[in-house]
A = this chain, B = another copy of it.
Amino acid sequence: MTRLLLAAALVGGLATALPAAAQFQKPEDAVKYRQSAMTLIAHHFGGLAAMAQGKVPYDAKAAAFNANIVATLAHLPFTAFGEGTDMDLHTKAKAAIWKDPAKFKAAQDKLFAAVTKLDAAAKAGTLDALKPAVGATGEACKGCHDDFRSK
């Protein structure tokens, strides 16, 4: 438990900001937690991507709502990659997460910067502002998934 917490703090670099978020009873709980966060992020980012791609009409209020959810939740999964959460747990997480924590951290930081801009862009209230921020966030998602998530 303590090792799990410490590892989560080291990997996530968020121990100061999110102490309680990194406490899990079992490794399985951490996996379920981070997968749940990713499910919600994917859903709400999907709503933004659909607008950016013209698949659904632009709706400033919905965009601001979705971007706020994405920006709020983007930090959560990374508190849940502690030691022991890498094996036999129906996870797609690659070993690279634990083998190259600096690279994993850099990928997180890229995402955090992107979602902060996404949140601001959505609040700006125009599709022109939203589009590049959605693109940059999508790139951050894809870059991390390419390196750290199995297909």
Measured CB to CB, the residues of A under 8 A from B are 17-21, 23, 29, 32-33, 35-37, 39-40, 43-44, 47-48, 50-51, 56, 59, 61-63, 65-66, 68-69, 72-73, 76
A124: shortest Cβ distance to chain B, in Å? 17
Query: Is the Cβ of B33 less than 8 Å from the Cβ of A43?
Result: yes
Q: Are B33 and A39 interface neighbours, CB within 8 A? A: yes
Given A20-B51, A21-B62, 16 more pairs with CB closer than 8 A: A20-B50, A20-B56, A20-B59, A20-B63, A20-B65, A21-B44, A23-B47, A33-B40, A35-B36, A36-B37, A36-B39, A36-B40, A37-B40, A40-B73, A68-B72, A69-B76
- For chain A, what secondary structure do more than half of its interface residues adopt (helix, strand, loop), or is it mixed? helix
Closest 4 CB pairs between A and B? Answer: A20-B47, A36-B36, A36-B39, A20-B62
- Identity of the chain B residue whose Cβ is nearest the Cβ of A39 in the assembled complex: B36
Q: Given the complex, which residues of B lie within 8 Å of A66, measured CB to CB?
A: 20-21
Cβ–Cβ contact A47 & B21, under 8 A:
yes
